[in-house]
Every structure is written in structure tokens, then in C-alpha cells.
């Protein structure tokens, strides 16, 4: 079963802007929503400019979880969006090389505008534990459910009071 090992961090956007020119990096605009959710897994539909994806992710509180993803056509993804009970999560994702890794920087749009998160995927838990983040990373929020995209689809960042 495919496993995902990743950490998620809040970002200091002022330090980021002073150190990184985002326009130099690959970027995709992503749109996603959730078809189903249970206590053990979520089913997500996502699309970028070129492809759609259907993903099943294990709900987990650590940095490691099961993830299975299949490619869809754009038309299939758009049709599945119509079935989603949750709101869309929209973001621009920048792919920033960092040492032997890639930082996925998510700049949220729409109802989650103002939120900027960085995710780093690792080959295993040992690599994740040894990771030293760049200076523009703030707190790690890997285990904080409020920063999961599924939660943001039901409780947009713009509605948070603190």
C-alpha cells in the first residue's frame, strides 16, 4: 500500500518574500473538494490545469499515512466536483527545490485566502525526523487537523476567529 510521509508548516510570508522569488519556480493552480469522509479516510477530487485526480487518504495524526491516487480527465474531475458536499479549496502550489527535497508551498485563494502552508514529503520517517526547515518556516502543523485541506473545505480560514 502506498504510504505518504510528509510534514506541514505555517510560513512566515515576510521572510519568504525577502528570500525567495516565487516566479522562478514551477506553479500549478489547484482546485479540490471532498466526496466522502469517515473516521478512517477521506476521498478527494482535485484538478490542476491539465489533469484531474481521485485520491483516498487515510486519516492519521502523524506524518505517515496511506494514500492512493488515480488520474482522471478534467471533465471527470469537474463532474465529481458537482457531487462534493464540501466547499472547494483553491490554491496556487509552488514547487521549490530544497536540498534533496521539494517544498510544496500552498498559497490559498478564495475563502482560505491569507493562509500559506508549506509541505515537505519524505522517503521515510527517519528522513522526516532529521529535517531542518528553512528560516521562513514557522510552526509545524502536521498534527493540527485545522490545517488539513478537508477541514478547510468545511471551515474556511476566512471564518476563523483566532
Residues 6+ apart with CB under 8 A from 161: none
| Helix or strand holding residue 122 (H, E) | strand 116-122
Q: No. of H helices and E strands in the chain? A: 4, 9
- List, in sequence order, every residue forming a beta bridge with 53; answer none if it has no partner: 46, 71
Catalytic-role residue among 34, 94, 147, 151: 34
CA distance 131 to 125: 10
53 catalytic per annotation: no
- Catalytic residue annotation: 34
Amino acid at each position: 500500500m502506498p504510504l505518504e510521509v510528509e510534514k506541514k508548516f505555517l510560513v512566515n510570508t515576510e521572510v519568504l518574500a525577502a528570500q525567495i522569488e516565487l516566479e522562478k519556480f514551477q506553479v500549478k493552480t489547484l482546485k479540490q473538494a471532498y466526496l466522502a469522509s469517515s473516521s478512517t479516510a477521506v476521498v478527494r477530487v482535485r484538478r490542476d490545469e491539465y489533469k484531474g485526480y481521485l485520491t483516498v487518504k487515510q486519516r492519521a495524526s502523524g506524518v505517515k499515512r496511506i494514500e492512493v491516487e488515480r488520474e482522471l480527465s478534467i471533465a471527470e474531475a469537474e463532474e465529481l466536483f458537482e457531487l462534493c458536499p464540501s466547499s472547494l479549496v483553491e490554491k496556487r502550489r509552488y514547487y521549490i527545490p530544497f536540498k534533496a527535497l521539494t517544498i510544496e508551498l500552498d498559497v490559498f485563494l478564495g475563502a482560505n485566502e491569507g493562509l500559506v502552508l508549506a509541505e515537505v514529503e519524505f522517503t521515510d520517517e527517519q528522513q522526516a525526523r532529521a529535517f531542518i526547515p528553512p528560516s521562513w518556516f514557522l510552526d509545524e502543523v502536521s498534527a493540527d487537523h485545522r490545517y488539513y485541506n478537508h477541514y478547510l473545505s468545511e471551515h474556511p480560514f476566512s471564518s476563523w476567529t483566532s
